[in-house]
Amino acid sequence: MVKHQDKNSFDVRDKTMANLTRRQFIELGVAVLPAMKTRERLPIAFSTLGCPKWDWRTILKQASELGYAAIELRGIQGEMDLTRRPELSGTRLKESLKDLGALDLRICDLGSSARLHEFEPAKRAAQLDEGRRFIDLAHQLECPHVRVFGDKIVPEQSRQATVERIAGGLRELGEYARGSRVTVLLESHGDFTDSPTLLEILKGAEMPSVGLLWDAHHTVVEGKEEPAGTFRRLGGYVRHTHLKDSRPEGGAVRYVLTGTGTVPVRETVRVLAAGGYKGYYGFEWEKVWHPEIEEPEVAIPHFAKVIREYLRASG
């Protein structure tokens, strides 16, 4: 486990990195890269939801130093609409791709906020527009996935109507993504965390450019399913994962460091590996929504250490 006092050393390195020119940053990457390639990088990623104060260079630097192979972008420094970030637009986008290449990193997923349950025309149009903008950005970034939500069952409408509307929105975005090498992923999240409902939606939107982001925490805690059963039913659709641990606290759950809670993360990794899963094992530390949980300087290195142990044991 990474000790809390290590945070100061991270802060010092982060301040040093912030003062580097872009050329120095790339030169640093070139120096680090041969060392990283001497040991195999495991297919692990972390979401920037867990490090809301880190800037672009700090995100990349920490990912490289900690042995991550990829980054999932879910906001940067408080801006959740990634299409508004300067690093990801205009001429800066090409520079950012070079930054990633210099450190042998890739972006594995863009986390949009698009909610496909919306039925009011203006709200629905805005959600689908966000999905399309994120697909366009993913294509430019050579990123294979864009996440969207089913999110909620609308109280004033039937469950079936909501399921069909979500499937229709997913199908519409999947058609838009066709030929872009981007897959639109529905996350197991909100009111849609049980396999039968997720399977109904995915079958209703079935095409090569549509898949599932399996948040295994939600299917266990809210969906009340065991990992093996979920994967048996939905494994053919799983393209990316969110892994995190928690324990019950006061009628709710508190997110805790990986391996210290009650969620079967080790078993989920074993099930994925045994099932031939080829994607990234993604750490989603919800620091943006839960500021009281451990700092990213603690949680992100800890996940890398623990998940390596789980993957080696499953290999």
Quote the domain boundaries for residue 159.
109-237
The separation between CA 162 and the C-alpha centre of its own chain, rounded to angstroms, equals: 25
Q: What mean pLDDT value characterizes the chain? A: 90
Residue 129 lies in a domain: yes
In angstroms, the CA 170 to CA 166 distance is 6
Mean pLDDT, to the nearest integer, of 95-124?
Answer: 97
256 has pLDDT over 60: yes
The beta-strand segments (E) located in 76-219 are 106-115, 145-149, 183-187, 210-215
Lowest mean pLDDT, pick from 4-8, 107-111, 191-195, 265-269: 4-8
Q: Letter for the amino acid at 175?
A: E
Residue 250 lies in a domain: no
Q: Clarify whether residues 73 and 120 are in a common domain.
A: no
Q: Clarify whether residues 90 and 172 are in a common domain.
A: no
Sort residue 16 into left (φ over 0), alpha (ψ -120 to 50) or beta.
alpha
pLDDT digits (tens, 9 = 90+) for 230-249: 999 999 999 999 999 999 99
Mean pLDDT, to the nearest integer, of 89-109?
Answer: 97
Banded model confidence at residue 27, pLDDT cuts 50, 70, 90: low
20 has pLDDT over 80: no
7 has pLDDT over 70: no
Residue 245 lies in a domain: no
Lowest mean pLDDT, pick from 19-33, 89-103, 121-135: 19-33
Q: Clarify whether residues 185 and 89 are in a common domain.
A: no
Query: What pLDDT does residue 22 have?
Result: 56
pLDDT digits (tens, 9 = 90+) for 144-194: 999 999 999 988 899 999 999 999 999 999 999 999 999 999 999 999 999
CATH number for the domain that contains residue 130: 3.20.20.150
Q: Clarify whether residues 124 and 225 are in a common domain.
A: yes
Q: Clarify whether residues 97 and 127 are in a common domain.
A: no
pLDDT digits (tens, 9 = 90+) for 195-220: 999 999 999 999 999 999 999 999 99
Q: Clarify whether residues 170 and 206 are in a common domain.
A: yes
